[in-house]
Structure 1
Amino acid sequence: MKSGFRLVLGAAAAAATLFAATGCGASATPAASESTVTIEHAQGSTPVPVNPKKVFTYDLAALDNLEALGLEAQGVPEAEFPTSLSKYSDAKFTKIGGMKEPDLEKVAAEKPDLIIISGRTADSYEDLSKIAPTVDLSSDATKPLESFEANARSIGTIFEKSDEVETQLKAVEAKIAETKTKAEASGSTALITMVSGGKLTAYGAGSRFGLVHDVLGVTPVAEVKVDGAHGESISNEYIKEKNPDILYVIDRDTAVGTEGGQAATSVLDNELVNSTNAAKNSKIVSLDSSTWYLVGYGLRSVPTMIDEVAKGL
């Protein structure tokens, strides 16, 4: 898959591949010295050190990419980490505020070499950039695969792990192709539903969870309205009316650690939903909510997400 971002290294890596730019992106342009590389990202272009020693990230997809490459971040947000990233709950990793509200004083005091952010922290880009080189590796819901690959390649470039990134991306693309074939053969329709505080929201093609439809080719049961990161408010009656063959469920309360909330499975356990093809054929698939809602597109998380989608086919 051709990246939607342009990566061109400086003199130390003049032979790097050039990726065509489409939309916001990450690219390396000739740097002032062999120890820096300029990354083009969602909010501009930023010279960053190659192999930075102290990395802070508010983006869990970037954290997932680092882990996939045998690397670690030293600073992370306060979050409900999925099992795959649970070690970052340990106090030895500096906590740098919330994903939406960075602790600027703490970050400044710790003097990181690189800060990575994404959508939830995007509004703090200017403030964080005054502290240390900051790159915004937000995902593009309209180009999920290209965006995922480009962000992974940016991490690979910064840490001189490009070959490892390409190897892992090839494995992901093979898994995608296999699942697309399975989706086409099944002919099943699907609806992605997030449950939060007992309320239901649907997500379809072009949404933050568009991997299901846009990348893996699962047929959406209906055209769902998309408003940025938000989906369409729906009801149990809506689910019954659309009657999906597969119902993919994300439990937001579980993802963010909300206490006292009603489990998504309980919310959906009613006569209306139980009358659908999805329920009758045991095709209500509970997705790993932390991975889907908090992490998103990482080198380790995406294969897991693909496998979960495949379970419903």
Structure 2
Amino acid sequence: MIDKENSMKKTLITLAAGLVAAFGVVSAQAADIGLETFGGKQIVPENPKRVVVLDFAALDTIREIGAKETVVGISKGRIPQYLAEFDTDKYANAGTMPEPAFEKINEMSPDLIIASARQKKVLARLKEIAPVFYMENDYENYYPSFEQNLLALGKIFNKESAVKEKLAQLDNRMTALAKLTAGKSALVTIVNESRISAFGDKSRYALVYQKFGFTPIDKNLSSSTHGNSVGFEYIAEKNPDYLLVVDRTAAITDKANNAQTVLDNALIKPTKAAKNNHIVYLNAENWYLAFGGLQSMDTMISEIESAVK
């Protein structure tokens, strides 16, 4: 009887050990962590091994902190040139940013999907496939929300120290930049075909004023994702020292130099920005497609430095 009981105990111990061996690692990988960003409180898996990234800024940051080996699929569409290494068959096509390919994403069996405002309307469908980390920015406090998103990514991938180090470097660069831009007024615009939108200090480009140091030429511009529609007369009337231009058309099509053509007219030529060669045509890929990544932010600072020195 005792021998039989001992035998049963040994069997149970063996089974338990087998279960630990089989599922222990999976359990560790599936541990959830809590995050709080402007996008809300979120619960996501820690240290995911298979990640689908639907946002170029997030892809930029993941590469910069040394976690790109986790990426199995990305939004393809028009990939910014500085992220061209991801435009290969090694990374599955997850559709475009506005239109994710849900069935293909499901086939990738991701542990985590990283989404942003361009996927806000389809978050529920993405969450049916896998946990989603959603990134969104606070236009009135852009840079703090940017930092929150990056620190959250650092926590997800166990790369918090790398994120903090890079954010400190950006802070130092922006402090130096603000000294160069002190007392200079600016207006950030997006040119989309022949249409112009202006962005103030409570917009997607608020950091130009809040962190880069420019004085907003118009403090009455409303907070808006797509900016405030304006014309040539408005720009001439406000007459900023610097006119910062994002050519959306160039970012999403093969039509180069669209903004330069649009702004080459008799109303813009007499402005201070035009006369002083201070109409700055920004890198549209960085400022429109990948806005908010670690490398893109560093490049943006360099662009403004070159413009004001």
TM-score by length of 2: 0.85
Which of 279, 295, 304 does residue 299 from structure 2 map onto? 304
Whichever residue aligns with residue 214 of structure 2, its letter is: V
User: In structure 2, what is the Cα distance between the partners aligned to 1:33 and 1:45?
Assistant: 21
Give unmatched runs, 5+ long, in structure 2. Answer: 1-26
Asked if the contact 1:206–1:214 (Cα under 8 Å) also holds between the matched residues in 2, the reply is: no
Structure 1 equivalent of residue 89 of structure 2: 91
User: In structure 2, what is the Cα distance between the partners aligned to 1:43 and 1:189?
Assistant: 31
Larger Rg: 2
- What's the CA shift for 1:224? 4.9
Structure 1 equivalent of residue 252 of structure 2: 256
Structure 1 equivalent of residue 146 of structure 2: 148
User: In structure 2, what is the Cα distance between the partners aligned to 1:77 and 1:97?
Assistant: 5
Asked if the contact 1:212–1:309 (Cα under 8 Å) also holds between the matched residues in 2, the reply is: no
Structure 1 equivalent of residue 262 of structure 2: 267
Equivalence map 1:226-241=2 (5 Å): 226-241=222-237
- What's the CA shift for 1:155? 1.0
User: In structure 1, what is the Cα distance between the partners aligned to 2:230 and 2:224?
Assistant: 17
User: In structure 2, what is the Cα distance between the partners aligned to 1:80 and 1:248?
Assistant: 23
Aligned-residue RMSD, C-alpha? 2.0
Structure 2 equivalent of residue 291 of structure 1: 286
Matched, 1:169 2:167: yes
Per-residue CA distance 1:142-198 (angstroms, 9 max, x = gap):
2111111111111111111111111111101101111112221xx221111111111
User: In structure 2, what is the Cα distance between the partners aligned to 1:295 and 1:111?
Assistant: 25
Structure 1 equivalent of residue 74 of structure 2: 76
User: In structure 2, what is the Cα distance between the partners aligned to 1:79 and 1:292?
Assistant: 17
User: In structure 1, what is the Cα distance between the partners aligned to 2:76 and 2:204?
Assistant: 22
Whichever residue aligns with residue 249 of structure 2, its letter is: D
Structure 2 equivalent of residue 104 of structure 1: 102
TM-score by length of 1: 0.84
- What's the CA shift for 1:277? 0.6
User: In structure 2, what is the Cα distance between the partners aligned to 1:101 and 1:301?
Assistant: 23
Matched, 1:201 2:206: no
Q: 1:136 to 1:117 in 2, by over 3 A?
A: same
- What's the CA shift for 1:122? 1.1
Matched, 1:116 2:114: yes
- What's the CA shift for 1:201? 1.0
Structure 2 equivalent of residue 27 of structure 1: none
User: In structure 2, what is the Cα distance between the partners aligned to 1:251 and 1:190?
Assistant: 17
SS in 2 for 1:226: coil
Aligned length: 280
Which of 30, 33, 50 does residue 54 from structure 1 map onto? 50
Give unmatched runs, 5+ long, in structure 1. Answer: 1-30
Asked if the contact 2:51–2:73 (Cα under 8 Å) also holds between the matched residues in 1, the reply is: yes
Higher helix share: 2
SS in 1 for 2:140: coil
Equivalence map 1:119-138=2 (5 Å): 119-138=117-136
Structure 2 equivalent of residue 221 of structure 1: 217
SS in 1 for 2:139: coil
